[in-house]
Structure 1
Amino acid sequence: MLTTHVQGSAAAPRYAVLFPGQGVQRPGMGEPWRTTPSWELVESVSRVSGFDVAELLLTADQETLSRTDHAQISVFTASLLAWSELRASEPDTRVVALAGHSLGEYAALVAAGVLSVTDGAWLVGERGRAMAEAARRRPGAMAAVMGGDLERVTALVEAARRDGADLWVANHNSPRQTVIAGSRTAVLATADRAADAGLRYSVLPVGAACHSPYMEPAGEALSRALDLTEFRAGAIPVVANVDAAVHYGGSGWRERCARQLVAPVRWVDTLRALHEELDATAFLDIGPGTTLSSLAKRTLPGVPSRGFGAPVPQRA
């Protein structure tokens, strides 16, 4: 049962579990899970999503995994494998809140009990295909700008837009990291201007302008899928990307998931809500990589953060 909410002692950390988004995928990331009981999730996800998830998790190369639809279903499944293992191996871990970065929000909704595993897998499959098609029709780019606050990066974006560029703020990931998205020309030009202003940047290895109006063509297909999906009451609160507010289950998630496709990810505000409104005293970055743990440490350096991404080896 993926949604068991175990209460620990009063002195135990109150964890907010964080689920990563697209970009953390890597070849062979499913290998540690292959002999665990949790691996049965892979068959379920494959059946309803239409992807050979076992192949993606075990043998696919980086080029194959970089495809938007492949990346999303792979990271979603790997995150649920880690969540299942956490609940089995650390049953006393006190989880009081959840959040997911972009795609990771769907894994968070499954963990919260708002979505079933099969509904979550189907939605992620439909979302990935729709976003891949939108990017094929209108390619874009993204870059992380580091060293400046949100206001400084926003000013660069607004200046580019006044000059007619297709450019938007896509993610506010930490107090000193903001991701921009739009046309490749606009992203590269603005990144260069950021560097001239003393900031650093990294162009992300994607061909899409996620969380921007470039994803609007994917909205119709995703909305149809959302309308066919049951959103249940849930057992654990989830802080949403689009408004950084605390939500429980229910049909309101249809609108939030649809809006998330084109709206910025308010990750800094999300982390603060988890800590300040839901009294989370530690963060647990679950799934592939430790990106979210690093962002949490930069945003709230006084709050402990750790990763949980691989099963504990079984003793012979």
Structure 2
Amino acid sequence: MNHVPVGLVFPGQGTQKQGMGEPWRDTASWELTAEISAVTGEDIAELLLHTPGDHLQRTDLAQLSVFSVALIAHAEATRGDALGGRVVACAGHSLGEYAALVAAGALTVGRAAALVAARGRAMREAALTREGTMGAVVAAPVAEVETLVSEIRAEGGEVWIANVNAPGQTVISGAPEAVAEAGSRAPSIGGKLITLRVGGAFHSPFMAPAAETLGAALRDTSFTPARVPVVANVDAAPHTDDGDWPALCVRQLTSPVLWEQSVRTLTGRLGCRRLVELGPGRTLAGMIRRIDGDVEVVSVDSPAAVPARSVRER
């Protein structure tokens, strides 16, 4: 088992929920909440234990909470030797890319936490400036979704592909009326639009102001060469060079998350035979099984998935 090539994957915004930290509070890695709190000025323990679910929908708080749980889960899985093999690559979905960079050694916890805080604030401010929304088009091929949104843009609508998550699941982003128009036309390509409860038109040109703000924070952040490749959202390619990441992180805010292609890079080019999802929920595991049914997928979303020796006595 220990010779199995493992890829680590980290979820993004939308997986947060009230009390998401409760399962982890008695683990040794819970101490990360204090470190992240000190860097960001937010009470992370309070966010993870007591903050109401509606309040956690706020973009900046959602991102910090998911990022924190992902790092705790990774630390506990590593401490408990629960990864089941040799880690050869990492990837994260949108926000999850920052946890992946920590796991790969490209960023320290503190530097990543500061970037996540800056990113969340900038995205929230951009969304407050320009109203936007997102929706998942299910059951339609991505090429036909791309054609559909291109037609709407040609008519003056503002809507773009935001996430290519898995076969038959493409997320679109843009102005509410343009997203609604795409939803009304989705049946013509065999699809259906599911509206997402989000705070803005993420991964679209509406996030250009946030990209500019985040770029300034990234210029002041030191990256180090990653110990293992991190597959980037924007090009689905593996990167280890510390000089690549500032530009990749800026592009990510206004570019589609190429998750389906990223998983294929992990399981194909990088040879991962086991993918371990670390963080709240099991959203990525569901996508991965639709992308590559031959790869083993495990979700570490609670200490129950980690050997008991890594959990402190109550």
**TM > 0.5:** yes
Is 1:236 matched up with 2:250?
no
Spell out, residue by residue over 1:2-37, the C-alpha distance to the aligned partner (whole angstroms, 9 max, x if none): xxxxxx643xx3211110000000000001111111
Spell out, residue by residue over 1:23-67, the C-alpha distance to the aligned partner (whole angstroms, 9 max, x if none): 000000001111111011001101111211111100011111000
Which has the higher mean CA deviation after the structures are superposed, 286-295 or 243-252?
243-252
Unmatched 5+ stretches in structure 1: 1-7
Could you tell me which residue of structure 1 aligns to residue 6 of structure 2? 15
Distance in 2 of aligned mates of 1:38 and 1:196: 50
Counterpart among 134, 140, 165 of residue 132 in structure 2: 140
SS at 1:202 equivalent? strand
* Structure 1 residue 200 displacement after superposition: 2.2
Is 1:81 matched up with 2:91?
no
Q: Could you say if the C-alpha distance between residues 253 and 214 of structure 1 is closer, same or farther in structure 2, counting changes exceeding 3 Å?
A: same
* Structure 1 residue 213 displacement after superposition: 0.3
SS at 1:265 equivalent? coil
Distance in 1 of aligned mates of 2:230 and 2:141: 26
Could you tell me which residue of structure 2 aligns to residue 52 of structure 1? 43
Counterpart among 111, 114, 117 of residue 106 in structure 2: 114
Spell out, residue by residue over 1:186-207, the C-alpha distance to the aligned partner (whole angstroms, 9 max, x if none): 1112112103543122111012
Could you tell me which residue of structure 1 aligns to residue 91 of structure 2? 99
Q: Give the TM-score of the pair, scaled to structure 1.
A: 0.94
CA contact (8 A) 1:17 1:95 kept: yes
CA contact (8 A) 1:173 1:179 kept: yes
Could you tell me which residue of structure 1 aligns to residue 27 of structure 2? 36
Unmatched 5+ stretches in structure 2: none
Once the two structures are superposed, the pairs formed by residues 241-260 of structure 1 within 5 Å of their partners are: 241-260=233-252
Spell out, residue by residue over 1:196-250, the C-alpha distance to the aligned partner (whole angstroms, 9 max, x if none): 5431221110121010000001122101110010000121111000111111141
How many residues align structurally? Answer: 307
Distance in 2 of aligned mates of 1:249 and 1:57: 33
Could you tell me which residue of structure 2 aligns to residue 263 of structure 1? 255
* Structure 1 residue 93 displacement after superposition: 3.3
Which has the higher mean CA deviation after the structures are superposed, 68-77 or 227-236?
227-236
* Structure 1 residue 309 displacement after superposition: 0.9
SS at 2:15 equivalent? coil
Distance in 2 of aligned mates of 1:186 and 1:207: 16
Could you tell me which residue of structure 1 aligns to residue 121 of structure 2? 129
CA contact (8 A) 2:140 2:189 kept: no
Could you tell me which residue of structure 1 aligns to residue 163 of structure 2? 171
CA contact (8 A) 1:50 1:125 kept: no
Alignment RMSD (CA, Å): 1.4
Which one-letter code corresponds to 2:66 in the other structure? Answer: V
Q: Could you say if the C-alpha distance between residues 295 and 165 of structure 1 is closer, same or farther in structure 2, counting changes exceeding 3 Å?
A: same
Q: Give the TM-score of the pair, scaled to structure 2.
A: 0.95
